[in-house]
């Protein structure tokens, strides 16, 4: 049980709870767009490639807006950044719900607007704000709590969405999503940045440009940023294309919802364990192991006969490894550079993640339309697992010289 001293201020407690709810709502909606594809295909005439492109644009919008929202949060307060992002998110869902929602407008609503909305609400910004309230000893655990609660949304949302699509249709389901996001906008008011950084008594006079220059001159930051590209490729390929992949392999429609729900449930365990282990051992070793094990999970899924059992094993194993990269990755950034510009610097790392997400979503659909299967996308995902597993090993987990000499 977490002791009372874990939350050193009342603001830290309220911010952590509010950030958890924000991420829960944001990721719950974001996770299930793949389940809408068949309805979009039938009612709006959206092809696999068009859908993959929209999700890819969404990932890029998420990534590109992340550093901007991070800079807003670092300078003006976390709640302002998140509230602004929710406005974009709700607007994107509204246009998808009420129209125009075909052709270029489909890309603008599902891709651009929702992507920008995710940039300030889903994981990186709320988590970085929470991290500022905690000292180094508890920071990674606190941030893993935000990730874990968001994962609970991953668990519930596919089950609810599958039910709602059957009973309310895709239009009615999107309307319900707008209600959820409006609640998230209200909750975002309580995600407050600390007035004083409790984890660092050193006066940091570094400006934004200096922080960026320092980060990009750091080899470990470049390696970490490069490796996070793979995380984005993996989870977006799975989240976007597994619903159709399992149907193509002869499994029932509900299998996709089951896989996504299992990913959400086991991600709770994986995220919390990753956060805990990050306080006990090398974070880069944790990350290397996660990426290599993802490759093993994918191999078992695609090279074994399609069955409910293989789907369960994949959902559980890949879910355990799903967002468990986030606490360790953000923890390394905070440990190396401090927390003053954590929103901005982690936002840039996350941009790399979202570039990977773009290719995971788009190439999955493109390979399918060209070759009639997702095989080449899976092969690429396995190769990237090996790449990421190796590239984290040279990372040096120590503060920059500025902090060492302060």
Report DSSP letters for 58-104, one per residue. Answer: HHHHHHHHHHHHHHHHHHH-HHHHHHHHHHHHHHHHHHHHHS--STH
The token duo for 226 is 């490069």
CB 56 within 8 A of CB 361: yes
Q: Is residue 95 part of a domain?
A: yes
| Number of independent structural domains in the chain | 1
Number of CB atoms found within 10 A of residue 241's CB: 28
What pLDDT does 200 receive?
45
**Whole-angstrom distance, CA of residue 384 vs CA of residue 234:** 9
What pLDDT does 196 receive?
54
What pLDDT does 120 receive?
92
Q: Is residue 1 part of a domain?
A: no
Q: Give the alpha-carbon dihedral of 50, 55, 59, 61, to 10 degrees.
A: 60
DSSP state of 227: H
Number of CB atoms found within 10 A of residue 28's CB: 24
CB 379 within 8 A of CB 233: no
Helix (H) or strand (E) holding 214: helix 208-216
Q: Is residue 7 part of a domain?
A: no
Q: Is residue 86 part of a domain?
A: yes
CB 302 within 8 A of CB 376: no
Q: Is residue 43 part of a domain?
A: yes
What pLDDT does 201 receive?
42
Among residues 265, 250, 244, 286, the alpha carbon closest in space to that of 377 is found at: 244
Among residues 338, 322, 232, the alpha carbon closest in space to that of 274 is found at: 322
Phi-psi region of 136 (alpha: psi -120 to 50; beta: other; left: phi over 0): alpha
Q: Is residue 368 part of a domain?
A: yes
* CA angle at 265 for the pair 298 and 373, rounded to the nearest 5°: 30
What pLDDT does 404 receive?
66
Domain containing residue 326: 13-199+206-401
Mark the ranges of the chain whose per-residue pLDDT is less than 70. 1-4, 196-204, 404-406
CATH code of residue 323? 1.20.1250.20
What pLDDT does 52 receive?
82
Q: Is residue 406 part of a domain?
A: no
What pLDDT does 204 receive?
59
Q: Is residue 69 part of a domain?
A: yes
For 394, residues 6+ apart whose C-beta sits below 8 A from its C-beta are 219, 220, 223
């Amino acid at each position: 049980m977490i002791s009372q001293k874990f939350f050193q201020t009342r603001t830290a407690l309220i911010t952590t709870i509010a950030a958890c709810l924000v991420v829960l709502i944001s990721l719950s909606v974001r996770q299930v767009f793949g389940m809408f594809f068949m309805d979009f295909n039938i009612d709006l005439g959206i092809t696999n490639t068009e859908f993959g492109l929209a999700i890819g644009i969404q990932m890029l919008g998420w990534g590109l807006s992340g550093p901007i929202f991070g800079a807003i949060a670092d300078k003006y307060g976390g709640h302002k950044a998140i509230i602004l992002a929710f406005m974009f998110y709700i607007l994107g869902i509204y246009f998808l719900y009420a129209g125009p929602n075909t052709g270029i407008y489909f890309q603008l609503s599902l891709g651009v607007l929702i992507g920008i909305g995710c940039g300030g609400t889903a994981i990186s910004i709320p988590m970085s704000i929470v991290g500022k309230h905690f000292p180094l000893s508890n920071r990674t655990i606190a941030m893993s709590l935000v990730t874990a609660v968001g994962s609970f949304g991953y668990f519930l949302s596919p089950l609810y969405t599958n039910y709602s699509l059957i009973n309310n249709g895709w239009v009615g389901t999107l309307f319900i999503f707008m209600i959820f996001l409006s609640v998230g906008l209200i909750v975002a008011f309580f995600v407050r940045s600390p007035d004083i950084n409790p984890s660092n008594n050193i006066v940091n006079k570094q400006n934004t440009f200096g922080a960026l220059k320092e980060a990009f001159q750091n080899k470990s930051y470049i390696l970490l940023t490069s490796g996070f590209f793979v995380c984005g490729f993996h989870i977006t390929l799975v989240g976007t294309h597994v619903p159709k992949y399992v149907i193509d392999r002869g499994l029932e429609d509900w299998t996709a919802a089951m896989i996504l729900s299992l990913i959400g449930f086991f991600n709770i365990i994986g995220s919390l364990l990753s956060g805990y282990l990050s306080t006990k051992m090398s974070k880069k070793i944790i990350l290397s192991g996660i990426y290599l094990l993802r490759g093993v999970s994918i191999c078992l899924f695609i090279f074994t006969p399609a069955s409910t059992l293989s789907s369960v094993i994949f959902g559980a194993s890949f879910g355990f490894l799903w967002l468990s990269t986030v606490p360790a990755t953000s923890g390394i950034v905070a440990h190396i550079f401090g927390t003053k510009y954590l929103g901005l610097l982690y936002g840039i790392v996350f941009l790399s993640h979202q570039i990977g997400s773009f290719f995971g979503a788009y190439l999955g659909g493109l390979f399918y339309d060209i070759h009639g299967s997702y095989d080449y996308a899976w092969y690429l995902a396995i190769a990237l697992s090996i790449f990421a597993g190796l590239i984290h090993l040279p990372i040096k987990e120590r503060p920059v010289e500025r902090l060492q000499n302060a």
